[in-house]
């Protein structure tokens, strides 16, 4: 079941990243995702906006180097699923390609420096990223592991890690971009 759960999550991720809606990932798609995330930073927060764009660029380079089996400069769904499992989520790449985005995003959104995201901040963030509020509200409840009404940086990192690495169908992090369903 572990591989089926990851496959389902990576399929959801592919659909989210496919900004051109053409069934292929391109450099433009990953740049658009970087811009989408970077837009969540304040106008004068160049460091975090750049960090998010740079992390998506790193992600694209990993996809291209390890996943573009036919050398056409585009990543098909099958290529994406393979490279996500084998390379992007590998320990030597996960921190700089995935968690770097989460860390910069958390720093950018934590404008008062309290180290947490409130419910409203979380829902607003995911709405801006294209995740419907009905999903992000439920996700917030699941990701607020200590039930204190906010998501700490550590809770956010844990959720990201679960989304990408866990094969557990019931892991709270699976809710990051919407509900997943029991694989058939």
Give CA–CA dist 149/152, Å, rounded.
Answer: 10
Pairing of strands 150-152, 116-118: antiparallel
81 confidence band (pLDDT: 50, 70, 90): very high
The total number of residues written for the chain in this structure:
184
**Which tokens hold the place of 10?**
């990576």
Q: 99-143: per-residue pLDDT in tens?
A: 888 888 888 888 778 889 988 888 888 888 888 888 888 889 999
Identify the three-state secondary structure at position 67: helix
Domains of the chain with bracketed CATH? 2-175 (1.10.238.10)
1 confidence band (pLDDT: 50, 70, 90): very low
Residues 109-130 as b/e (b if ≥16 CB within 10 A, e otherwise) read bbeeeeebbbeebbbbbbeebe
Give the residue, 132 or 15, on which the prediction is more confident: 15
**Which tokens hold the place of 166?**
């866990």
Residues 6+ apart with CB under 8 A from 182: 169
Query: Is the distance from CB of 111 to CB of 81 less than 8 angstroms?
Result: no
Residues paired with residue 118 on neighbouring β-strands, in sequence order: 150
181 confidence band (pLDDT: 50, 70, 90): low
pTM of the model: 0.87
């Amino acid at each position: 079941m572990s591989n089926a759960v990851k496959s389902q999550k990576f399929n959801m991720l592919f659909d989210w990243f496919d900004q051109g809606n053409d069934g292929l990932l391109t450099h433009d798609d990953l740049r658009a995702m970087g811009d989408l995330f970077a837009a969540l930073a304040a106008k004068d927060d160049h460091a975090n906006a750049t960090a998010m764009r740079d992390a998506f660029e790193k992600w694209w380079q990993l996809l291209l180097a390890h996943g573009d089996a036919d050398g056409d400069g585009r990543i098909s769904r099958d290529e994406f699923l393979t490279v996500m499992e084998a390379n992007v989520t590998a320990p030597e790449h996960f921190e700089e390609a995935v968690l770097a985005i989460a860390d910069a995003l958390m720093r950018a959104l934590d404008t008062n420096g309290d180290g947490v995201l409130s419910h409203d901040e979380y829902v607003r963030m995911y709405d801006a990223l294209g995740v419907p509020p009905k999903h992000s509200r439920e996700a917030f409840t699941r990701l607020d592991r200590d039930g204190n009404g906010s998501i700490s940086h550590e809770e956010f990192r844990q959720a990201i890690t679960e989304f990408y690495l866990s094969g557990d169908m019931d892991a709270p992090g699976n809710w990051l971009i919407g509900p997943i369903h029991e694989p058939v």
